[in-house]
Structure 1
Amino acid sequence: MGGPTCAGIATDSPFTTVVHQFHRPLHPERFHQALRSLAQGCCRLRGQLWMAPAPECRILLRGAGPRVWLENVGPWPAYLDAPPPGLSSARETNATVRAIADAGHPSTVISATGEDLDADEITRLLTDCQLTEAEMKSGFTALADPFGLDTTHDIDSRRAS
């Protein structure tokens, strides 16, 4: 697996859907800034995020119009039985991150739908949100989290309270 992938899905309508996938965690503050631009230009956002402050957790992205919400839905499916061997080394080396970034493993996939979307601009915007090699090596879990994604929102446990 290489770097980010992006696919534009053509339709007969004036709306375009751009799907972007990459295999490094997102820097929370850079993504927070990029999300503003995405929300303004898209009528629909969907996806899953691999965020640096909560690397073991799958974050869902949903958006309609200018409203966007994120939800920590717990561990990545591949981690439900047991953490994969060498998880700490996966945080340190890009090659290992790419090697485990398949179905159920951490990766970011975002589908953006809007009128006259520029796929190249969305790719650039989201690619710039990824952690750099230096950030990957320096221990990124301590980055500030403007979203508060380090906790799982369990609806069933709130009902029981």
Structure 2
Amino acid sequence: MAVRVQREDFDMGAEVRRLTAGRVDVGAVATFTGLCRGVTGSTTIGAMTLETYEAMALAELGRIEAEARGRWPLQDVLIVHRYGRMEPGDNIVLVVTLSEHREAAFAAAEFLMDFLKTRAPFWKFEEAGGEGAWVAAKEADDAAATRWQAAEDGPARS
């Protein structure tokens, strides 16, 4: 399965080894691992809880993954997104793209993360200083995703 939504932690190295085992058609592996931060600006974060509707998340991640496969020549893709309570330093998300060449692997990984941030149904609740608050969507994330709409094979170039 190319996409997973889970409470459990993941091991990036083990996931990459599993994807590349016995493969001789892969010339590039791009990975991105998102971690729970302990500091946001001047705020110290004690923990973060990600909530999701798992079936909806899997469906949307599948659509995003299929779109990346349609844009770039990829041998394989893996998206793992966690939900539940996480503390600073914990893994949150893993994106792995395999391609014959680095350009496609890098571009696809960046595309996937930009769209995960804006289209995947996850809601973030941060705990700081004994209080908690839901985190609003960021305009910068929307702008990052918008740039991909201008070109079929990558971000808009200016």
TM-score where L is the length of structure 2: 0.35
So what's the TM-score if we normalise by structure 1?
Answer: 0.34
- Larger RCO (alpha carbons 8 Å, 6+ apart): 1
| Larger strand proportion of the pair | 2
